[in-house]
Structure 1
Amino acid sequence: MSEPLQERIVRAMAELEATQAAVARARADLSEASATVRSSDRAVEVTIGAQGELAGLRFSDNRHQNMTGPQLAASIMEAVQQGRALMARRVIDTFAPLTGPGPEGSVRRGLDLDWNQVFGPALDDGSPGARGRPGRDRLRDEIDEDTD
């Protein structure tokens, strides 16, 4: 015997309210979140905020003084990319339970999110096997594909 329409509506509204509360809690948790990462040469430490913004930059032990400009820039870029990837992963992990289908009998069907499309290159932390390609390869592809 099927559930009466009014009962299904009440259950769906309760699920919607619970989901909205869970999203609000996740947003609140993430609003204060940050990731602090050091470059592999240990010369640079960056702090990345929940939205991928650079929230802090510190030069460790004055190692940067013996670096060329391009070396320092590469260290900064590496640390920022790693921090952005870490924060993107934290956002995904936080919202993943809310994007999947609900429990048995739930009206929630889940969302089909392409996190790569949401975060783009932020998911690529520069490590082997990471998603995406380094920006310089994408730029090279664009130049190679340009027929003008």
Structure 2
Amino acid sequence: MSDHIEGLEKKLAQATAGLESVQAAVAAAERQMSAFSSSVMSKDGSVEATVGAQGELAGLKFLDGKYRSMSASQLADAVLDAVQEARSHHARAVRDLFEPLTRPSATMPELPGMEIDWDRIVGPAADALPEEPGVRSANDRLRDEIDEDDDTAGRASRRR
């Protein structure tokens, strides 16, 4: 009995240490992201957009006076191109930083990886995350829940 209790205490200590390690990694990642910004130039080199920690537009520069010879629609396209690419770059950097935290613990396989609310972490830039297996936003999970509810409601009404 004593060996069993000691074994449980050892597992509990490992789990606590694992949790503390994850919490420290999350705090470090959040600190790193709070100072993050990303600047990207439009494909035509006329505009540079900078996004901040939440993927928000933090700066916009018109380069080398190129905008003077552009039509309004060309300039708008260049601005949108630079902003979308900066947001996409930001979202990928955030995913790369936090993704390791979504994996199960190497030392304690019983501890699953964290479920990450990408919408909360990257704000509007979550929409720019490329689709990858296992990377799901809170909106995706909500849509799944709504779809499941709709399917259940549909089956219930068909049974009647």
TM-score norm. by structure 1 comes to 0.74
The SS at the match of 1:61 is: coil
Give the Cα separation in 2 of the matches to 1:48 and 1:113. Answer: 21
1:34-78: CA deviation from partner (whole Å, max 9, x where unpaired)? 111000111100111121101110000010011111111110000
Give the Cα separation in 1 of the matches to 2:108 and 2:18. Answer: 11
**Matched residue, 2:102:** 99
Structure 2 residue 70 is matched with structure 1 residue 67: yes
Partners of 2:48 and 2:60 within 8 A in 1: yes
**Matched residue, 2:59:** 56
Give the Cα separation in 2 of the matches to 1:27 and 1:111. Answer: 14
**Matched residue, 2:129:** 123
Give the Cα separation in 1 of the matches to 2:32 and 2:115. Answer: 23
Q: How many pairs align?
A: 123
Q: Which sections of structure 2, spanning at least 5 residues, go unmatched?
A: 131-160
Greater C-alpha radius of gyration: 2
AA partner of residue 128 (structure 2): A
AA partner of residue 68 (structure 1): S
Give the Cα separation in 1 of the matches to 2:97 and 2:17. Answer: 21
More helix by share: 2
Following TM superposition, by how much is the alpha carbon of 1:113 offset from its aligned partner in structure 2, in angstroms?
5.5
Give the alignment partner of residue 19 of structure 2, picking from 4, 7, 16. 16
Give the Cα separation in 2 of the matches to 1:26 and 1:59. Answer: 32
Following TM superposition, by how much is the alpha carbon of 1:7 offset from its aligned partner in structure 2, in angstroms?
1.7
**Percent same amino acid among aligned pairs?**
44
Q: Which sections of structure 1, spanning at least 5 residues, go unmatched?
A: 125-148
